[in-house]
């Protein structure tokens, strides 16, 4: 037969693709987290740097070890494992022994991602799963907070960071309480300005509301995240906490404090919006966000723990398959 022209390719239309790729979507999040990450270095110095490095390394290493050989390049290349590591690190207290951070990252990727079949297959947010594991495993170390220092103290390493694997860290003399802890256990409010700037005690990435808002706005503008989820979280949390605040202003924090303190912003912008573990459908996103907002305030105000973002997101993650199932959009032309 005459086939002097190139053997034609048969490839499914459409041949046109928009520019964003999945690794690109991940990079957007890295970029949006940059200010917060830098701030954590500013506030917590070398401790923060080491925690971040160890956590990312743990995550990437685990992904590498447990992924099939032929998928490895792709899996590491999309930078999602590293992102999980970074996000985990940003939720850790600055004085956490490094070995714990490493273990957390291994659990994040191992139990949170690889076991489910890798990127896209997991039900639970890997970073938060890792944090939940750490919180349950080492509750004391995970609730011991160092106070933020400044850049001057960059090389001041919290002594507990360097504990031997499987051993206690030495608890720093100057451990502090987080704004939420202060509120819950001592009924003390923290000034909103400090919440905004971030010179309070807390995990690496949750202290500065301003920078988190900045990153979140970037993602929203770039349409990298679904706007419904953070909106629903903020609205629900604000309304619920306002109701309680009106009820008893001494006992319960104001909505502003609720929104700007703890992991709410970090969680609402970066974690609840993890596309993999949040619902697909628009209605589902609203329900998910409302659920997270409700649960976080419920746990904070009525539960045993001062902070509930972690559990709020994980619980709603668990419900996501159900939400997705029952909120399928109405198909065009169908009832």
Ligand X SMILES: Cc1cc2nc3c(=O)[nH]c(=O)nc-3n(C[C@H](O)[C@H](O)[C@H](O)CO)c2cc1C
Contact pick of 28, 123, 143, 171 for ligand FMN (by CB under 6 A):
143
Question: Among 58, 63, 56, which residue's Cα sits nearest to residue 83?
Answer: 56
The whole-angstrom separation of Cα 50 and Cα 142 is: 16
Q: Per-residue x/- marks for ligand X, 210-229, CB under 6 A?
A: --------------xx----
Peptide bond into 14 cis (omega under 30): yes
Kindly tell me which of 83 and 301 has the beta carbon lying closer to ligand X.
83
Q: By CB under 6 A, tell whether 258 contacts ligand X.
A: no
Q: By CB under 6 A, tell whether 185 contacts ligand FMN.
A: yes
The binder of 18, among ligand X, other proteins, ligand FMN, none, by C-beta within 5 to 8 A per type, is other proteins
* Contact of 50 with 219, CB cutoff 8 Å: no
Kindly tell me which of 20 and 174 has the beta carbon lying closer to ligand X.
20
Contact pick of 95, 104, 126, 291 for ligand X (by CB under 6 A):
126
Question: Among 143, 142, 104, which residue's Cα sits nearest to residue 126?
Answer: 104
Question: Among 134, 140, 183, 129, which residue's Cα sits nearest to residue 311?
Answer: 129
The CA–CA distances, whole Å, from 301 to 46, 181, 292 equal 34, 11, 14
Q: How many CA atoms lie within 13 A of 255 on its CB side?
A: 16
Stretch that binds ligand X, among 181-189, 209-217, 246-254, 270-278 (CB under 6 A): 270-278
Contact positions with ligand X (CB under 6 A) in 8-27: 25-26
Distance in Å from the first CA to the final CA of the chain: 54
Other Cβ atoms within 10 Å of 113 Cβ, number: 30
Contact pick of 86, 135, 211, 290 for ligand FMN (by CB under 6 A):
135
Contact pick of 214, 276, 280, 298 for ligand X (by CB under 6 A):
276
Positions that interact with ligand FMN (CB under 6 A): 135-136, 139, 143, 181, 185, 304-306
Positions that interact with ligand X (CB under 6 A): 25-26, 29, 80, 83-84, 87, 113, 119-120, 122, 125-127, 224-225, 270-271, 273-277
């Amino acid at each position: 037969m005459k086939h002097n022209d190139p053997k034609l390719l048969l490839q499914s239309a459409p041949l046109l693709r928009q520019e964003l790729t999945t690794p690109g979507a991940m990079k957007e999040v890295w970029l949006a987290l940059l200010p917060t990450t830098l701030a954590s270095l500013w506030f917590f110095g070398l401790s923060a740097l080491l925690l971040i490095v160890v956590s990312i390394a743990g995550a990437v290493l685990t992904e590498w070890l447990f992924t099939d050989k032929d998928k490895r390049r792709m899996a590491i290349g999309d930078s999602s494992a590293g992102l999980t590591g970074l996000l985990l690190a940003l939720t850790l207290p600055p004085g956490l022994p490094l070995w714990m951070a490493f273990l957390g990252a291994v659990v994040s990727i191992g139990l949170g991602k690889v076991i489910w079949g890798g990127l896209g297959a997991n039900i639970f947010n890997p970073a938060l799963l890792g944090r939940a594991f750490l919180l349950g495993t080492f509750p004391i170390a995970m609730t011991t907070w160092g106070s933020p220092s400044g850049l001057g103290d960059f090389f001041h390493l919290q002594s507990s960071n360097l504990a031997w694997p499987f051993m206690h860290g030495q608890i720093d003399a100057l451990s502090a309480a987080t704004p939420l802890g202060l509120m819950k256990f001592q009924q003390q409010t923290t000034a909103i300005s400090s919440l905004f700037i971030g010179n309070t005690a807390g995990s690496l990435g949750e202290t500065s509301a301003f920078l988190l808002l900045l990153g979140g706005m970037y993602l929203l503008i770039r349409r990298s995240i679904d706007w419904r989820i953070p909106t629903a979280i903020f609205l629900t949390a604000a309304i619920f906490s306002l109701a309680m605040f009106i009820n008893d202003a001494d006992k319960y924090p104001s909505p502003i404090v609720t929104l700007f303190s703890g992991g709410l912003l970090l969680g609402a912008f970066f974690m609840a919006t993890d596309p993999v573990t949040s619902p697909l459908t628009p209605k589902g996103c609203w329900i998910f966000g409302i659920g997270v907002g409700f649960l976080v305030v419920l746990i904070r105000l009525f539960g045993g723990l001062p902070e509930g973002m972690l559990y709020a997101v994980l619980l709603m993650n668990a419900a996501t398959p159900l939400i997705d199932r029952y909120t399928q959009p109405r198909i065009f032309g169908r009832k």
